[in-house]
Amino acid sequence: MAIKRVSTGIKGLDDLLCGGLPENSCILISGPPGTGKSITSLHFLCEGALNKEVGVYVSFDEPRESILLSGEELGFDLRKLEKKNKLVILEYFTIESNLYLGERKRVEEEINALVKKRKQLEENGKATNNLDNRIAMLRDRIDEIEKAVRESRYNVTQHEREEIFFSRLNEIIPLVKAKRLVVDSLSAYMIYGVSKDSLHMFIHRLRDLDITVILISEDAEDIKSLEKTAEYLVDGVIRFHHLDSNTDTLNLQISKMRWTKQKRGYASYKITPKGIVVK
């Protein structure tokens, strides 16, 4: 049976891919900053949203407002698609900070209860030392949480980060019946230190979601060896390149695409006011 294809929303790219990305595949788009990786993923999500395939975009570094604005500039009405439940844009660190703020609420409730109890003990002339210590400890925890939220630095281990990420996806994907997912970017996810084993697990779990996934990667020197690992774990790799700094033409190369007749070589593309155009 022929593999079903999923349009990227970019005609020239679909042609190079023999019709589109293989349905439910996990594809890595890698390239230096400013080569249009995020814009490509907006084409992919909007194409889905307009064809009854709901998309989820998880941003690790770019704020939601910046994504909405860049979509607006290119003529993608992301807010409208979100209102119609055809698209969900999530900032990963907001998910973490919400967990932290939830913890702050719980700690505050405990402090309030202990303060009441302490008052009663005091009125009855009893010792309050134990409660005082506990209240001081909890107040320190509140300070820690507030500092972490202010500085967007959470004491979350890699394993916890992976769990938070997938538990949110496992909630949202069935809820909105998503068929497409963008993770922007793997490099930002890995910046806090990821071992090869946990990268393996991360990609394995993405593939297990059974939806078409675009995973963006920054092509940065300091994570090169992990990226190589990611490349052989995913189903396809599309690389974006700058041609040279004097021209606005860029080029891309499909360096791996399972189940697809490979068209070798480079194709040139431009980022225009209407988005990516592949020649």
Ligand X SMILES: Nc1ncnc2c1ncn2[C@@H]1O[C@H](COP(=O)(O)OP(=O)(O)OP(=O)(O)O)[C@@H](O)[C@H]1O
* Alpha-carbon gap, residue 213 to 19, rounded angstroms: 16
Residue 218 in contact with ligand X, rule: CB under 6 A: yes
Provide, rounded to whole angstroms, the least separation between the CB of residue 184 and ligand X. 7
Long-range Cβ contact pairs of 144-148 (< 8 A, separation 24 or more): 145/100, 145/101, 145/103, 145/104, 145/107, 146/104, 148/100
Q: Which stretch binds Mg ion (CB under 5 A): 30-38, 166-174, 189-197, 204-212?
A: 30-38
Q: Does 30 bind Mg ion (CB under 5 A)?
A: no
38 versus 212: smaller Cβ distance to ligand X: 38
CB of 29 to ligand X, least distance (A): 8
By CB under 6 A, residue 36 contacts ligand X: yes
Stretch 170-199: interaction string toward ligand X, x if CB under 6 A: ------------------------------
Dihedral sign from CA coordinates of 39, 223, 239, 230:
negative
Paired strand residues for 183: 58, 215
Q: Does 47 bind ligand X (CB under 6 A)?
A: no
Member of 5, 37, 86, 180 binding ligand X (CB under 6 A) = 37
Reported residue count of the chain is 279
Q: How many residues bind ligand X (CB under 6 A)?
A: 14
Q: Which helix (H) or strand (E) holds 264?
A: none
Residue 38 sits in the site that holds Mg ion (CB under 5 A) = yes
Supply the minimum distance, in Å, between the C-beta of residue 100 and ligand X.
26
Instruction: Spell out, one character per residue from 50 to 89, where the chain touches ligand X: x when CB under 6 A holds, - when not.
Output: -----------------------xx---------------
Contact in structure between 44 and 52 (CB atoms under 8 Å): no
Do the beta carbons of residue 159 and residue 201 sit within 8 Å? no
| Helix/strand number for the chain, H first, E second | 10, 11
**Beta-bridge partners for 27:** 214, 236
Part in contact with ligand X (CB under 6 A); list of ranges 84-92, 99-107, 136-144, 266-274: 266-274
By CB under 5 A, name the binding residues for Mg ion.
38
